[in-house]
A and B are shown apart, each in its own frame.
Chain A
Amino acid sequence: MTLAPETTDLKVQLQLEEGGLDWFTVCDLSRLVPGRGVAALLPDGRQVALFRDRSGALYAIDNRDPFGGAAVLSRGLTGTHQGRPFVASPLLKQRFDLVSGECLDDETVRVATYDVRAA
């Protein structure tokens, strides 16, 4: 007997290497509150900030605020600016594009991004 997968069983997974085949499982999808982020620790010590927006789309960027240095981007407020989803750093409010990692307030700064999926 096969049951249709329930959304509550879905896991949030990250791709650690660009173009790699392995997916790293972070947590249950239900742990991501729309509009809020969580932080995850990668095996090599890197930190990732994961977000889920209202439509269900997932995003993952480096958790470290490149301006202040603290690993806090997962705790920022999210939103949309000219169609681009962003998180605003809780330290000094710079906004980072969740898709490209680019800082919307200083184009010379960019944070790493990761492929993320719910599976």
Chain B
Amino acid sequence: MTATEGATPTIVLVGHGMVGQRFLEAIAERGLTATHRVVVLCEEPRPAYDRVALTSYFSGRTAEDLSMTDMAFLETHGIELHVGDPAETVDREARKVVARSGRVFAYDTLVLATGSFPFVPPVPNKDAEGCFVYRTIDDLLAIEKYAETATTGAVVGGGLLGLEAAGALKGLGLTSHIVEFAPRLMPVQVDAGGGAALLRTIEDMGLTVHTGVGTQEIVVDQSGAVTGMKLSDGSELATDLVVFSAGVRPRDQLARDCGLTVGERGGIAVDERCRTVTDPHVFAIGECALAADGRVYGLVAPGYEQAETAASAIADDESEQLSFTGADLSTKLKLLGVDVASFGDAHGAAEDCLDVVYSDSRAGLYKKLVIGRDGTLLGGILVGDADAYGTLRAFTGSVPPVAPESLVLPAGAGDSVQLGPSALPDEAIVCSCHNVSKGTIRGAVTEHSCTTVPEVKKCTKAGTGCGSCVKVLGQLVTAELEASGVEVDKGLCGCFSQTREELYEIVLALRVNTYQDLLDRYGRDGARGGDGCDVCKPAIGSIIASLAPSIGASGYVLDGEQAALQETNDHFLANLQKNGSYSVVPRIPGGEITPEGLIVIGEIARDFGLYTKITGGQRIDMFGARVEQLPLIWTRLVDAGFESGHAYGKSLRTVKSCVGQTWCRYGVQDSVRMAIDLELRYRGLRSPHKLKSAVSGCARECAEAQSKDFGVIATSNGWNLYVGGNGGATPRHADLLAQDLTDAELVRLIDRFLMFYIRTADRLERTSTWLERIPGGLDHVRDVVVEDSLGICEELESLMTAHVAHYADEWATTINDPEKLARFVSFVNAPDTPDPVVGFVPEREQIKPDLPLLTIGHRPLEGSAQR
């Protein structure tokens, strides 16, 4: 009996990893979920997650963050997902799968996406306590727990995953070793030269690398726990923990047990449509499949391609006959902060091919191109700087239009050429995840009127896979727009043709210290002498405020003309809420507050009837203040020693901290003191957008510093500085800018970083997007602020020194200025009357806005005066 009898046909998917999930999306797109019952059996206790980003779990991403499964998607498409219930046996005769729970599922089509398992070399004591593999979230949880009592860790295997695992162990505070049998790191991707460049950089990070040695035995103590390992060169390495990361093998046992053909070295044999060669009702995709070209692919992109292929074969639509005959193994990775890329024939396997190599071991750079006799680019390896990857990969298979050596020389050296994507032929594949050519991308701009990268992504799917081509995509879109005569106006707004950065330079260099002066002298023709607009006014108000002491402007944002430039929040030094009331946030540096301070805030909130809430930035927000109450509230706060927290400003918000070394058993530095110092140093600093920061007292990162614009994490040697992190709608993990800094070095570097950001960012551009946008990215920023490559660091530091020296609390200044105070009324002609639209009703023993009040008072136009 089959499932088709009388009822809906059934697809059973065994395995819910990344490829399995992609398969579900692919069949949903093809409408198969509407016509089929779909059952998914998943061995792990959680649905599909981003295994590629597994290591980011240790840098703060939670299991939920890593999840790739949208429950609403499963629900919408009626997909039955059974987690923690793997398939145990398959009866191909009866077309039935039995799960571990004993449930039986009949199928019409069976799709195996069982993935792979970590290969553990058969050495004695390989299963001892303290031995781990690195494959699932559960593996990571186990390693994390065990690492709490360990001081040293060793990773067996110096490949991609091995390096990630070693970095993770180091992040957990362990002294870390890498043991690789091959004579170099990442033997599959890079050659000896690339391995040497990589080795130097990895060792500089404090990891110890042992290459050319094998593991012979795991040494255990009497209780059976790991104490070390014996290596093939006779030496012994003391370690508390061992992670095996020596490659993976296809998980094909289920297939073997039911008589499906598997390859000699494993892998379920499939044809070009990913159907098993043995049984037309059974498909295999991803790392468990032996593709038609006789290879098992361990990368996610080919797995996705197989998922699409299998889905198209099951849909059996004449118009779409996908096949999988092999995949490009090009990869670009960032391992422990090092760019590593290999593409095409990276090892020069083709006959008669020649190498062009640039190598600088001192800088950890290695670039090799493999060139055919006729000048065709066949492949290459890039270590340390893989910026050219997108372009070079697309040129692979063709003769590049310039001499190959000019492509590997560093920028600025001799005849180096930065070959832009404009030189690519139309058929060059720009996005290899979705197989999108340059011609298709150009077409999106010229024929589908896309004008931005997000539009092109949506239109072509390019850049929506691994994302490594997004940079090239941006260049192509700009080039195409310019070529088609669309003037890409980079001006700030309708009033200024300059960018924010250019206006900053004008303001600073020429000491233009009023908005009107800037508009009248540097505005667009029609805008000079006018009133400006709501875009440039706050942007230039911010520039003037950032530079105030250096250009002879007032540092008080409500002074003179500056008052008219501020958004309502800055103008009222509080945060406007939906009913026209404001919220008030006093500064609580580092989140440290005395009981007396808490009591004062409590009393003020109680006396003014304010709603109170603890913020995400370790402060207290008081809501529901009317305009005329603000000065009274500030006076009470200022009297008690509080000041503005600038919660309203595009300026420093908070510097969060964990409790640090003073109290915490794990802390290695005084994170609270550093957070307070930083918050007090940068308070009031106006910037292109808000600035958030945090300081963690150890690598456990309780303050979440890596999600901040600038985050500091304590090490036993000092401080590590991370920049460009973000939470919110577009989370981004911060990049490590510098390591093991002293207090003074840290402060100096943050001074430079912030001032460089303020100088060069666009308006409302957070550090995360700024870092992604500016040419050269993080490396450029590091060159400028660490190496002082532009020679501007002295100026950056002196600008910050001037800011710090001239800081004054805006609340205190305002309550002492009767003329400014007069503005804090609901009505200019009735200063004692509160705005009747601002009302409140009770909720959970506090207040909330009385929203119905906002709809009353809406008057029809007829009744009122018209001009």
User: In whole angstroms, what is the CA distance A35 to B533 when docked?
Assistant: 10
B563 and A36 form a contact (CB under 8 A) = yes
What residues of A have a CB within 8 angstroms of the CB of B837 in the complex? Answer: 47, 64, 69-71
CB-CB contacts of A27-70 with B at 8 A, as 1s and 0s?
Answer: 10001011110111100011100100110000000101010111
Q: Which of B567, B829, B858 contacts A26 (CB 8 A)?
A: B829
User: In whole angstroms, what is the CA distance A9 to B415 when docked?
Assistant: 72
Partner-contacting stretch, out of B139-147, B388-396, B859-867:
B859-867
- How far, in Å, is B865 (CB) from chain A's closest CB? 4
From residue 81 to 104 of chain A, which have CB atoms closer than 8 A to chain B? 81, 85, 88, 90-91, 93, 95, 99-101
A113 and B865 form a contact (CB under 8 A) = yes
A26 and B568 form a contact (CB under 8 A) = no
What residues of A have a CB within 8 angstroms of the CB of B579 in the complex? Answer: 69-70
In the complex formed, the residue of A with least CB distance to B855 is: A69
- How far, in Å, is B713 (CB) from chain A's closest CB? 37
B828 and A40 form a contact (CB under 8 A) = yes
User: In whole angstroms, what is the CA distance A112 to B858 when docked?
Assistant: 11
- How far, in Å, is B684 (CB) from chain A's closest CB? 21
B867 and A114 form a contact (CB under 8 A) = yes
A75 and B568 form a contact (CB under 8 A) = yes
A66 and B564 form a contact (CB under 8 A) = no
- How far, in Å, is B536 (CB) from chain A's closest CB? 8
User: In whole angstroms, what is the CA distance A91 to B567 when docked?
Assistant: 11
In the complex formed, the residue of B with least CB distance to A36 is: B564
A112 with B865, Cβ < 8 A, contacts A26-B829, A33-B563, A40-B827 known:
yes
User: In whole angstroms, what is the CA distance A115 to B531 when docked?
Assistant: 21
User: In whole angstroms, what is the CA distance A85 to B568 when docked?
Assistant: 18
What residues of A have a CB within 8 angstroms of the CB of B858 in the complex? Answer: 64, 66, 69
What residues of A have a CB within 8 angstroms of the CB of B835 in the complex? Answer: 39, 47, 71
A80 with B531, Cβ < 8 A, contacts A91-B576, A112-B859 known:
yes
Q: Which of B534, B826, B833 contacts A77 (CB 8 A)?
A: B534
In the complex formed, the residue of A with least CB distance to B566 is: A77
In the complex formed, the residue of A with least CB distance to B541 is: A77
What residues of B have a CB within 8 angstroms of the CB of A70 in the complex? Answer: 578-580, 837-838, 854
User: In whole angstroms, what is the CA distance A4 to B698 when docked?
Assistant: 73
What residues of A have a CB within 8 angstroms of the CB of B568 in the complex? Answer: 72, 75-77, 90
What residues of A have a CB within 8 angstroms of the CB of B838 in the complex? Answer: 70
What residues of B have a CB within 8 angstroms of the CB of A110 in the complex? Answer: 861
Instruction: Give chain B's interface residue range (CB within 8 Å of chain A).
Output: 35 or more
CB-CB contacts of A11-35 with B at 8 A, as 1s and 0s?
Answer: 0000111101000011100010111
B827 and A39 form a contact (CB under 8 A) = yes
B864 and A80 form a contact (CB under 8 A) = no
In the complex formed, the residue of B with least CB distance to A93 is: B534
In the complex formed, the residue of A with least CB distance to B827 is: A41
What residues of A have a CB within 8 angstroms of the CB of B867 in the complex? Answer: 99-101, 113-115
- How far, in Å, is B817 (CB) from chain A's closest CB? 14
Q: Which of A15, A26, A54, A77 contacts B865 (CB 8 A)?
A: A15
From residue 564 to 605 of chain B, which have CB atoms closer than 8 A to chain A? 564-565, 567-569, 571-572, 576, 578-580
In the complex formed, the residue of A with least CB distance to B822 is: A31
A72 with B580, Cβ < 8 A, contacts A31-B828, A41-B830, A79-B531 known:
yes
Which residue, of A54, A62, A72, A77, has the highest number of chain B Cβ atoms within 10 A?
Answer: A77
B537 and A79 form a contact (CB under 8 A) = yes
What residues of B have a CB within 8 angstroms of the CB of A33 in the complex? Answer: 563-564
What residues of A have a CB within 8 angstroms of the CB of B535 in the complex? Answer: 79
Is B494 part of the contact surface with A, judged by Cβ < 8 Å? Answer: yes
B826 and A39 form a contact (CB under 8 A) = yes
Is B348 part of the contact surface with A, judged by Cβ < 8 Å? Answer: no
A79 with B578, Cβ < 8 A, contacts A46-B864, A62-B864, A112-B866 known:
no
- How far, in Å, is B523 (CB) from chain A's closest CB? 11
Give the 9 A-B residue pairs with the shortest CB-CB distance, closest first.
A69-B854, A35-B564, A79-B533, A90-B568, A70-B580, A112-B864, A77-B534, A88-B534, A38-B828
Additional A-B contacts beyond A99-B867, A101-B866 (5; CB < 8 A): A36-B564, A54-B531, A70-B579, A79-B533, A100-B867
**27 contacting pairs across A/B (C-beta < 8 A):** A15-B865, A18-B865, A20-B865, A31-B822, A40-B827, A40-B830, A41-B829, A45-B857, A46-B859, A47-B827, A47-B837, A64-B858, A69-B851, A70-B578, A70-B580, A72-B576, A72-B580, A77-B533, A79-B532, A79-B534, A79-B535, A80-B531, A81-B494, A85-B531, A101-B867, A112-B859, A114-B867
